[in-house]
Amino acid sequence: MTTDRTALAAGTAPPRTRRRRRLTARRIFAASVPYGLILPVVGAIAAILGYPLYRLVRLSTQHYGLFELIRHKGQSIGLHNYGLILHDPVFWHTLLRTVVFTVANVALTMVLGTLLALLLTRLSTWVRLLLTSGLVLVWSMPVVVAVQVWDWMTNFENGIVNYVLTQLGVGDYFHHDWYATAFSQLSMTTALIVWGALPFVVITIYAGLSQVPHELVEAARSDGARAWQVFRDVTFPIVKPVLLILTSLSIIWDFGVFTQPYLLIGQAKIVPSNYLMGIYLFEEGYLKSDFGRGAAISILMLLIVALLSVVYVRRMVKLGDVR
Amino acid sequence: MSRTTRRRLRQSGWDLLGLAVFAVVVFPVYWMISTAFKRSDDIVSLTPTWLPFHPTLSNYRSAMRMPFFWVDVKNSLIIVSVTVAISMGLAFLAAVALAKYRFTGRKLFIVLMIGIQMLPAAGLIIPLYVVLARYHQVNTLTGVIVTYMTFVLPFSVWTLRGFIIGIPRELEEAAMVDGNTRLGAFLKILLPLIAPGLVATSVFAFITSWNEYIFARVLLNDQSKQTVTVWLSYFLGTSKHTDWGALMAGSTLTAIPVVVFFLLVQRRIAFGLTAGAVRG
């Protein structure tokens, strides 16, 4: 730009200036190409997600029930909804239950996932291929289908789980009802979630393990390191980034889980004493048509998940930037 | 005992453990399929029949005869194909921008695409329901399609970007030398190279939309408008006597398209979420 202006002031030949200007126009066009390319997605996201999220914030400060839904107009009540929730023991109990539930699920998923991935490295090729195919098959099962299968297997009348446990001599599980207490219901949900999550975790960790140089492990072994020491000092540091990402993903997924507990426990048996956050929100906000309060719960939940996501998103953004 | 024998024994030990894990992990899938082929006497008997000795298709017949099965399959197909078609078109353009251009705001856009995928669906049902109700899109397939795009779009942008990055820059430059603009070169010469990536991403988007439950459950209350997952979740209904055979047949039918597609593209997509982590 500065050169342009000096050139003009000095009264240099006009053709050159014209050429420059044309170049600039072209440059502006070139610079705007990426924006044009992302515009459709940005526009769509703004309309289908941005606007609803903006409405969500406003909804949370309104009394908004069925009547308001029909009129499309809520009554502003300030922060009353938040006050209601934060003074509701059900909210705090649900939050605590969800945190414990998430920790249990993630810990089980990650520990079992790591062990199975390590097992994969020890297997003969044909067994490994068989097990990986099995895992991929499980991975592909739709959640709703998995819930129905679980329901059938743990059915109290003729579920296979009761039969097998009784036959194995674990105890008398004849007509044992797995959905009698909140703890038992949530444990069944955990079993279902961990089973569904394992394939992704195992296969990803296994891929990470294959990056561990074989010579390094051999060297450690010949130096007399035990299996556990080899894992702690050689293998673990190399797969740590993978484990970190998988753990944060699992935390985010398990904290916001809805379909598995909702369908497995069953609408009829869902009560405040077995609420998880997603279900709490669905029951109190949607089913009771108390959209204002539901919106406030949603915002609290989204904020918690946003905090949990920071680690994961930051890591992924770094990768997206480099490549 | 010689050293080789001991090593062989240990290897067999690990392999046995691997086989046991395989049996446990795959059992639920096996149990679903085998139940779907059993006669109802064998299904309800107190001593389970491990194999379908008297295979029958009657469970599949009764599942397909259940009210709304075919209607809901049709709904699912419509929702999924429209969602995928629109999303791929939009996402492809954005993925090109991310993979091939540096621009201010690029990072923000990436954060948006990754961050949105982390939002729990449950947290979004209230705002989406209220906004769609405002525009009379509750209980319509359009409303669900729009909703599904909220998660299919970011996922597709991110995955397609990975495929586009994989194309060597030299190819693109060679095309540009032939007098094409950058974008022109890209579309004409490189689009065919990305076709497999487009297919894989579409298939994965198909799977996630087909499997989706909570939005469909909230937004569609009319049984003739529901998707196949909601149909399956209502299968047990209120009847006292559960027809497990038909339920398992229905489950198998719901799972088949997903399983087939998933097995086809798993290798290409599965690592999308963590690809960078494994490499870097």
Domain boundaries, chain B: 3-61, 68-234
Segment B34-43, tens digit of pLDDT: 999 998 888 8
pLDDT greater than 70 at residue B269: no
Scanning B226-265 for CB atoms below 8 A from A yields: 229, 232-233, 235-236, 242, 244, 247-248, 250-252, 254-255, 258-259, 262-263
The C-alpha atoms of residue A130 and residue A143 are separated, in whole angstroms, by: 23
pLDDT greater than 90 at residue B176: no
Beta-carbon separation of A41 and B22 below 8 A: no
Beta-carbon separation of B255 and A319 below 8 A: no
Q: Kind and range of the H or E element at B248?
A: helix B244-269
Scanning A75-134 for CB atoms below 8 A from B yields: 116, 119-120, 122-124, 127-128, 130-131, 134
Segment B109-127, tens digit of pLDDT: 988 888 898 889 999 999 9
- A278 interfacial to chain B (CB closer than 8 Å): yes
pLDDT of residue B171: 72
Give the residue among B144, B158, B99, B217 at the shortest CA–CA distance from A143: B217
> What percent of chain B has pLDDT above 90?
46
- A136 interfacial to chain B (CB closer than 8 Å): yes
Smallest CA–CA distance from B130 into chain A, residue: A69
Beta-carbon separation of A145 and B255 below 8 A: yes
pLDDT of residue B240: 59
The C-alpha atoms of residue B76 and residue A307 are separated, in whole angstroms, by: 34
**Å from B262 to nearest chain A CA?**
6
The pTM of this model reads 0.87
**Å from B94 to nearest chain A CA?**
4
- A40 interfacial to chain B (CB closer than 8 Å): yes
A contacts of B37 (beta carbons < 8 Å): none
Q: Of A42, A48, A322, which is closest to B146 when you measure between CB atoms?
A: A48
- Span B74-78, average pLDDT: 95
pLDDT of residue A5: 40
Q: Is A152 within 8 Å of B222 (Cβ atoms)? A: no
ipTM above 0.90 for this complex = no
Residue A66 CB neighbours (<10 A): 11
pLDDT greater than 50 at residue B15: yes
Report DSSP state, residue A272: G
CATH class held by domain B68-234: mainly alpha
Give me B225's structure tokens: 């408008």
Report DSSP state, residue A284: I
- A310 interfacial to chain B (CB closer than 8 Å): no
Which residues of chain A fall below pLDDT 50? 1-17, 322-323
The C-alpha atoms of residue B212 and residue B217 are separated, in whole angstroms, by: 9
B contacts of A38 (beta carbons < 8 Å): 93-94, 97-98, 109
Q: Is B163 within 8 Å of B195 (Cβ atoms)? A: no
- B168 interfacial to chain A (CB closer than 8 Å): no
